[in-house]
Structure 1
Amino acid sequence: MNSALFARMHGGTTHFPIGLVIASLIFDVLALVVKDPDHQSGLRAAGFYSLQLGALSSFAAVLSGLLLTHGDLMGSGKLAKHHLFLWPAFAMIVGMAVWRMAVRDRASRKAYGVYLALTLTASCLMAAAGYWGGEILLGG
């Protein structure tokens, strides 16, 4: 297989987890704002499943990226900057998905607040990784 195929595959597999993690954050924040318990429950469930799917699909994005870079975990220049943000985001997303699966709806309010802050941080890290990924593609 050539690198053009891996580049397309990587581009296609990265957007799905990004969207799902951001959607998870939005659903979880809305669950805090909405007063109706039935709606809260539905929004928390949507946040939970969005995060689980986002974490699971992030493995495809990482695998396609590793194939694209021939297994180079860090690289140099723009690739290093991309990976500098990518690896912490990936670890946080997978870690939060595992934590959320273990805790479900039994988290304290403080723990849930920390979880939301970490989800926001992971989303920002993904955005920065995406920026540097775009710089690699566009050669800017």
Structure 2
Amino acid sequence: MTKNDAPKSTNFIHQIIEQDLQQNLNDGKVVTRFPPEPNGYLHIGHAKSICLNFGTALKYGGECNLRFDDTNPEKESQEYIDSIIRDVRWLGFEWAGEVKYTSDYFQQLYDWAVHLIKEGKAYVDHLNAAEMREYRGSLTEPGRNSLIVIVVLTKT
């Protein structure tokens, strides 16, 4: 079977990747990532995400990064990081290079946020907790329309 004879993927993510590859975007390299928050043990939904992200990288000869979204240090622990690493490996996957952490990029994220704000393409949301709940809505009440928000990270 040649590449042209291969059946078209029914996975919309793979369809988008295949379109990008046909257009020679990103130098033809597929890079995915699995970004768990290390604030608890993984559940079946995480397993699906692991298989999708790592499996997609394998399918296209790319690589998948394991990057912990460690943005809430009060609820995160090394116990959860170690558990997640074991679970990913138990499912049969390895990541590209070293494990990454969002906190390693805080300054870069902060600088991008400041730049977007200065360009008028983002703003800092000043809603209090009650107003956020109102905008978000609930299971029985719809939320309110709001603008796209970029949260500015601050170093502590």
TM-score interval, smaller chain: under 0.3
Structure ranking higher in strand proportion: 2
> What's the TM-score once normalised by structure 1's chain length?
0.26
Which has the larger Rg? 2
